[in-house]
Amino acid sequence: MTQSVCILGATGSIGQSTLKILQQHPQEYSVFAVTAHSRIVELVEICKQYKPKIAVVPPHKVDELHQLFVQHQLADIEILSGEAGLIAVAEHAETDVVMAAIVGAAGLLPTLAAVKAGKRVLLANKEALVMSGDIMMQAALENNAALLPVDSEHNAIFQCLPQNYFSAERNGQPKLGVSQILLTASGGPFLHHTIERLQTVTPAQACKHPNWSMGQKISVDSATLMNKGLELIEACHLFSVKEHFVTVVVHPQSIIHSMVQYVDGSTLAQMGNPDMCTPIAHALAWPERIQTHVPALDLFQHSQLNFEEPDTVRFPALQLARQAMKTGGITPAVLNAANEIAVDAFLHGKIGFMQIPEIVERTLNRMENKAAASLEVIVQADQTARSIAQQLVMDKGS
Ligand code: NAD
Ligand code: MG
Q: Which amino acid is at 273?
A: N
DSSP state of 106: G
Q: Which amino acid is at 42?
A: E
Beta carbons within 8 Å of 334's beta carbon, 6+ residues apart: 324, 363, 364, 367, 381, 382, 384, 385
**How confident is the model over 11-59, as pLDDT tens digits?**
999 999 999 999 999 999 999 999 999 999 999 999 999 999 999 999 9
pLDDT of residue 397: 62
Do the strands 78-81 and 97-100 form a parallel or antiparallel pair, or are they unpaired?
Answer: unpaired
Q: Is 370 labelled as part of a ligand binding site? A: no
Asked whether residue 213 carries a pLDDT value surpassing 90, the answer given is no
Stretch 83-112: mean pLDDT = 98
Beta carbons within 8 Å of 316's beta carbon, 6+ residues apart: 357, 361
Q: How far is the CA of 164 from the centre of ligand 1 (A)?
A: 31
Asked whether residue 168 carries a pLDDT value surpassing 90, the answer given is no
Stretch 176-182: mean pLDDT = 97
Instruction: Write out the E strands in the chain.
Output: 3-8, 29-35, 54-57, 78-81, 97-100, 120-123, 146-149, 178-185, 246-250, 256-262, 267-271
Can you give the length of the chain in residues? 398
Cβ atoms of residues 120 and 97 within 8 Å: yes
Stretch 201-217: mean pLDDT = 92
Q: Which amino acid is at 39?
A: R
Q: Is 222 labelled as part of a ligand binding site? A: yes
For 249, other C-beta atoms within 10 Å of its C-beta total: 16
Point out the ligand nearest to the CA of residue 183: 2
Asked whether residue 311 carries a pLDDT value surpassing 70, the answer given is yes
Q: Which amino acid is at 13?
A: S
pLDDT of residue 398: 53
Confidence of residue 214 (pLDDT cuts 50, 70, 90): very high
Stretch 169-176: mean pLDDT = 88
> Looking at the whole model, is its pTM more than 0.85?
yes
φ/ψ (deg, to 5) at 102: -75, 145
Tell me, using a 6 A CB cutoff, whether residue 17 lines ligand 1: no
Cα separation values, 355 from 105, 127, 252, 314, 347, Å: 21, 20, 24, 12, 12
What span, in angstroms and rounded, lies between the C-alpha atoms of 278 and 191?
25
Asked whether residue 223 carries a pLDDT value surpassing 90, the answer given is yes
**How confident is the model over 334-391, as pLDDT tens digits?**
999 999 999 999 999 999 999 999 999 999 999 999 999 999 999 999 999 999 999 9
80 forms beta bridges with 56
pLDDT of residue 97: 98
Query: Mind listing the domains of the chain with CATH numbers?
Result: 3-149 (3.40.50.720), 151-326 (no CATH), 328-398 (1.10.1740.10)
Cβ atoms of residues 52 and 34 within 8 Å: yes
Please state, for a pLDDT cut of 90, what percent of the chain lies above it: 95
Q: How far is the CA of 395 from the centre of ligand 2 (A)?
A: 32
Ligand 1 pocket mutation, candidates 130, 152, 208, 218, criterion most atoms within 8 A of CB = 218
Name the residue among 86, 114, 120 with its Cα closest to residue 8.
86
